[in-house]
Amino acid sequence: MARQHNALIAGSDFKSGQTRFKTVMSDFLIGSGLRISSVVSYNHLGNNDGKNLSEDKTFRSKQISKAGVLDDAIKANPVLYPEDNKKIDHEVVIKYVPFVGDSKRALDEYSSQIFLGGTNTISSYNVCEDSLLAVPLMYDMIILGELFSRMEIDGEKMGPVLSYLSFFFKAPITNHDEYVINSFGRQRETLCNLIKVAAGILPDDTTLLNFKF
């Protein structure tokens, strides 16, 4: 529908707190050569988001979008995750607790397989004001969306699918279904380098060859 009406779209289910942290942690652990085997996320909150998610159909949609953010890190390491063994135990629990209001409580547990059959588990606990965490990111998304709506590449407008805004969503939408980026590092690098190129600045060269290392 966005394509038919030339309306901007970039994804669904805004990514602000626990899920964004999950993309960072999966990048870190798998990038360190550790095979994540279990990721369990629990959170409770009392605002309208929490109330809506107490409905089974709404929760199922959220569960699917949260699960997809690990796909990038898994695909990036076929040694740890060969074709016949890509499964991760990934559970998401969300509970509506009216008393806590907008104060979201999020607990994550990441368990990885390590040397000689050992297990490494990292747990995190985060308390935040859910709306206050999300609103500044929404401002960034709107400002960048407006900028990209005016930009052209080789005379062709960027919209209506603004895949460069994947950085802000759990379920990004792109023009190429086979190329969806969920990794926090890759999303940020792609977005920053596009803005640098548009401003006439060379994108980051991470080889460091100019320093003769």
Q: What are phi and psi of 156, to 5 degrees?
A: -115, 130
Does residue 76 contact residue 82 with C-beta atoms inside 8 Å? no
Integer Cα distance of 183 and 152 in angstroms: 26
What single string gives the DSSP state of each residue in 107-142? Answer: EEEEEEE-GGG-EEEEEEEEEEEHHHHHHHHHHHHH
Mean pLDDT of the chain: 86
pLDDT at site 146: 92
The reply to whether 95 belongs to the active site is: no
Each residue's pLDDT tens digit, 73-114:
888 889 999 999 888 999 989 899 999 998 999 999 999 999
pLDDT at residue 118 greater than cutoff 90? yes
Fold of 16-129: Dihydrodipicolinate Reductase; domain 2 (3.30.360)
The reply to whether 13 belongs to the active site is: yes
**Catalytic position from the list 15, 22, 66, 170:** 170
pLDDT at site 42: 93
The reply to whether 104 belongs to the active site is: yes
Residue 1's alpha-carbon distances to 6, 8, 9, 64, 161, in angstroms, are 8, 10, 10, 22, 11
The reply to whether 87 belongs to the active site is: no
pTM for this one?
0.79
Half-sphere exposure of 164 (CA within 13 A, CB side): 21
**Catalytic position from the list 15, 27, 104, 108:** 104
**Catalytic position from the list 62, 66, 72, 108:** 62
Domain boundaries, the chain: 8-12+133-202, 16-129
